[in-house]
Amino acid sequence: MTLDLFADADLQQPERFESIGAQSCVLRGFALPWVERLLPALAKVLAQAPFRQMVTPGGFTMSAGLSSCGALGWTSDRDGYRYTRVDPQSGRPWPEMPEVFRQLAEDAARVAGFAHFAADACLINRYVPGAKMSLHQDRNERDFSAPVVSVSLGLPAIFLFGGHERGDKTQRIPLFHGDIVVWGGVDRLRFHGVLPIKDGHHPRLGAERLNFTLRTAG
Ligand code: MD6
Ligand code: FE
């Protein structure tokens, strides 16, 4: 599907396409026309695989609630981070990836310069005020030639986008409802994170931020 909002001419509007690296960008408002299809699909996924708080290998409980859909789902516990075909909480395969998630990710990746992105894993994160994501690399996927596509809904966040070393300087990028960040290629393994979410109320989602990150994991 091609969105008029991001037809080629529109893409030249610098306020919608913000480069944050050689092969990474923010697509402002890209997901807005999709929200009313994303949320019912999300509700179906969460009915099968509810949000849960995972423990890091170091023994810390993550502040964001996590779920997954797609052939592979992401899990963390004392044994490490990894992708699994089965949700350890239910013992069943992860919920299928909704077509609307897959299509949105493919469209956003194409606009960001990554044609034919085929996501097989979608991590879903729920942040309430105070929740954060520490600086990390997404490196559990098998193939780093595919980008990460990250969709933000609900309360705003400050996204930290660093370099290839944990100590590198970070850019602070405000993300709002409907924004998508894509990072891939030479930027695929850059450190990133999210500062604690500020208190607030979003008209559609209330006091929460939802983030979907789509990847080719397998
Ligand atoms: C974000 N999320 O919430 C960015 N990475 O804007 C992530 O970078 C992320 O939420 C790995 C696992 C879960 C995540
Ligand atoms: Fe990440």
Give residue 43's Cα distance to chain centre: 17
3-state secondary structure 183-214: ECHHHCCCCEEECCCCCCCECCCECCEEEEEE
Give a yes or no: residue 1 inside a domain.
no
Q: Which domain holds residue 114?
A: 19-210
The answer to whether residue 9 sits within a structural domain is: no
Residues, the chain: 218
Determine the 3-state secondary structure of 125 from DSSP: strand
Q: Whose CA is nearest to atom 8 of ligand 1?
A: 193
Answer yes or no: are the C-beta atoms of 215 and 121 closer than 8 Å. yes
Q: Residue 171 sits in a domain of what CATH number? A: 2.60.120.590
> What's the CA-to-centroid distance between 9 and ligand 2, angstroms?
31
Q: Which of 152, 117, 146 is nearest to 133 (CA)?
A: 152
Atom 11, ligand 1: residue with shortest CA distance: 138
Q: Is 72 in the pocket of ligand 1 (CB under 6 A)?
A: no
* Number of domains comprising the chain: 1
The answer to whether the CB of 98 falls within 8 A of the CB of 67 is no
Q: Hey, which of 81, 194, 209 would you mutate to test ligand 1's pocket, going by the most ligand atoms within 8 Å of its Cβ?
A: 194
pLDDT digits (tens, 9 = 90+) for 67-85: 999 999 999 988 989 999 9
Q: For residue 14, is it within any domain?
A: no
Has this prediction a pTM greater than 0.85? Answer: yes
Question: If you average pLDDT over residues 131-143, what whole number do you get?
Answer: 94
pLDDT for 15 beyond 90: no
Closest ligand to the CA of 193: 1
Tell me if 215 is assigned to some domain: no
> Where does the pLDDT of residue 27 fall: very low under 50, low under 70, confident under 90, or very high at 90 and above?
very high
Mutate to test the pocket of ligand 1, among 187, 211, 214, 215 (most ligand atoms within 8 A of CB): 211
Greatest Cα-to-Cα distance within the chain, rounded to the nearest angstrom:
49
Could you tell me the end-to-end alpha-carbon distance of the chain, in angstroms, rounded to an integer?
25
Q: Is 130 exposed, middle or buried (0-12, 13-18, 19+ CB in 10 A)?
A: exposed
Supply the residue whose CA is at minimum distance from atom 7 of ligand 1: 193
CA 125 – CA 208 distance, rounded (Å): 10
* Residue 8 maps to a domain: no
Beta bridge partners of residue 141, listed in sequence order: none
> If phi over 0 gives left and psi between -120 and 50 gives alpha, with beta otherwise, what is residue 158?
beta
Does residue 112 sit within a domain? yes
Give the pairing of strands 148-154 and 180-183: antiparallel
In a domain, 7, yes or no: no
The pLDDT, as a whole number, for residue 143 is 85
Examine residue 185 and state whether it is found in any structural domain, yes or no: yes
pLDDT tier at 53, thresholds 50, 70, 90: very high
Residue 49 to residue 44: CA distance in whole angstroms? 9
Is the C-beta atom of 138 inside 6 A of ligand 1?
yes
